[in-house]
Amino acid sequence: MSKEGIKPRAVALQILTRVIKRRVFLEESAQSMGRAVGHLSPAERAFARRLAETTFRHWGHLKLIKSWLVERPLPHQAAETGHLILLGLAQLFYMETAPHAAVSTSVELAASSPKAGMRSLKGLVNAVLRRAANERQALLERAAKDPLANLPGWLSERWRAQFGEEKTARLAVAHTKPPPLDLTFKSPDRAEKWADEHGGQSLIPGSVRLRPMGAISDLPGYRDGDWWVQDLAAGLPVRLLGDIEGLSVADLCAAPGGKTLQLAAAGAKVVAVDRSPGRLDRLRENLNRTRLAAEVVEAEAQDWRPGQRFDLVFLDAPCSASGTIRRHPELPWIRKDFCLDALTGLQDRLLEAAWKIVRPGGRLFYCVCSLEPDECAARAGHFLDHAADAERRPLVGARISGLEETITAEGDLRTWPITLDDEGGMDGFFLACFGKAKP
């Protein structure tokens, strides 16, 4: 294997090790690499990122398989060698890497390491990966019998108690599948024709689903601002609103702005509020590209005092993001819990603040990309218990034909990574709507 094949794998190892040691997100780890990725071609950078993501996507099973192949646990100081073995196993089992390439590059990385401990274990790396290549099918079948192994113990225990063994196993399997690419169209009537022309699938009006392919900016219509990337679940709430042309809307915690763009495209007068300057820059870029208009405000949502009340207020509250593990497969492995006490307290405060800027007769929409009941229905119930002039406004399932099952008995929207599983699934998402009584 040439040195060219070694470089992206070395970067993937650095990214993965930094994620685990510092408990940071993969995106943050990759961005912090700086010069380390500067010498890579775009294709090599994409491979390094995909290798790290694939390893985390199957982290539990890969560690289980490694435990079957390594007779004695590696010492703590050899953790990076263990990560190297996991990267090699990911290539052998879950990527289209030739076995000799997966083995030889891993051995060469160990042999060329500046760390004497890793160099001394190059023979072990070679033996483990060669055996894995020879026993590939048997090892995969054995691991598949234990889908819950692909969740950390704390999360498996939590979800089994809340959702049951079978549903938790289905969620664990869903998290191993790379998410599709969903596009929301500025003009919904153009989506189906675009899908036919470019090999996509229109699962609901105004949206197109693709399998990820190349650079997003190279897809037809990107530069013309015809569409933006938005998971199918996150795009559902605005589609439930009906005609909102001319209505005033506050979009709280708005960046990077998928809902802001939808609302503006539907003719609403939108004020988009977020505390992150960097994320707001992305929102402005999306507004400029799509040639849509919204007022953008940098502020803490719970402290914002706009001096007016709105017909509609959207609160996309900070949450555990447990519904997005398919997109962030490292998430459960860098945490020991979801710190729900702090999050639910913040969500309650944000709901209280958001309610103050809803006009009488207006509506508040509370949403989170979470699977956790404490962040979803429990927060809606808590809000209703404390807001005397609020009433639940059940959503109408018929407005999202084919997804009627996503409306709960209480009238809330609830999606799961296993919703539309055969078509690629979607993010876990929750939405509740509240109406403010008129005086």
Q: Which residues of 105-131 are buried (b: 16+ CB within 10 A; e: fewer)?
A: bbbbbbeebeeeebeebbebbbebbbe
Task: Compute the distance between CA of residue 438 and CA of residue 366 in angstroms, rounded to an integer.
Answer: 20
Q: In percent, how much of the chain has pLDDT > 70?
A: 97
Instruction: Say what the pTM is.
Output: 0.93
Q: What pLDDT is attached to residue 401?
A: 72
pLDDT score for 36: 67
Active site residue 369: yes
Q: How many residues does the chain have?
A: 439
Q: Of 319, 367, 369, 376, which residue is the catalytic one?
A: 369
Angle between helices 122-134 and 59-69 (to 10 degrees): 100
Q: Domain 3-145, what fold?
A: N-utilizing Substance Protein B Homolog; Chain A (1.10.940)
CA distances from residue 122 to 20, 276, 352 in whole angstroms, order as listed? 22, 45, 58
Q: Taking the domains of the chain in order of start, what are their residue ranges?
A: 3-145, 233-436
Which pLDDT does position 400 carry in this prediction? Answer: 72
Taking CA atoms, 408 is separated from 248, 395, 400, 421, in Å, by: 28, 9, 13, 18
Contacts for 420 with CB less than 8 Å, ≥ 6 apart? 203, 232, 403, 426
The predicted structure's pLDDT at residue 1: 45
Residues 392-434: tens digit of each pLDDT: 999 875 567 778 889 999 999 999 999 999 999 999 999 999 9
Q: What is the pLDDT of residue 4?
A: 61
Contacts of 342 (CB under 8 A, 6+ apart): none
Residue whose pair of structure tokens reads 């709280």 in the numeric block: 252
**What is the pLDDT at residue 399?**
64
Q: In this predicted model, what pLDDT tens digit does every residue of 291-340 receive, in sequence order?
A: 999 999 999 999 999 999 999 999 999 999 999 999 999 999 999 899 99
Average pLDDT over residues 234-255: 94
Place of tokens 């495209």: 265
- Express each pLDDT in 178-221 by its tens digit: 999 999 999 999 999 999 999 999 998 899 999 877 789 999 99
> Over the stretch 75-105, which tens digit does the pLDDT of each residue have?
888 999 999 999 999 999 999 899 999 999 9
Q: In whole angstroms, give the CA distance from residue 53 to residue 328.
A: 8
- Per residue in 375-389, pLDDT tens? 999 999 999 999 999
Round the average pLDDT of the chain to a whole number and report it: 94
Is pLDDT at 356 greater than 80 in this prediction?
yes
Helices H / strands E in the chain, number of each: 18, 11
Query: Which tokens hold the place of 292?
Result: 């849509």
Of 29-43, 187-201, 260-274, the one with minimum mean pLDDT is 29-43
| DSSP conformation class of 413 | E
What is the C-alpha to C-alpha distance for residues 277 and 279, in angstroms, rounded to an integer? 6
CATH of 233-436, one of 3.40.50.1360, 3.10.450.50, 3.40.367.20, 3.40.50.150: 3.40.50.150
> 285 versus 39: which is more confidently predicted?
285
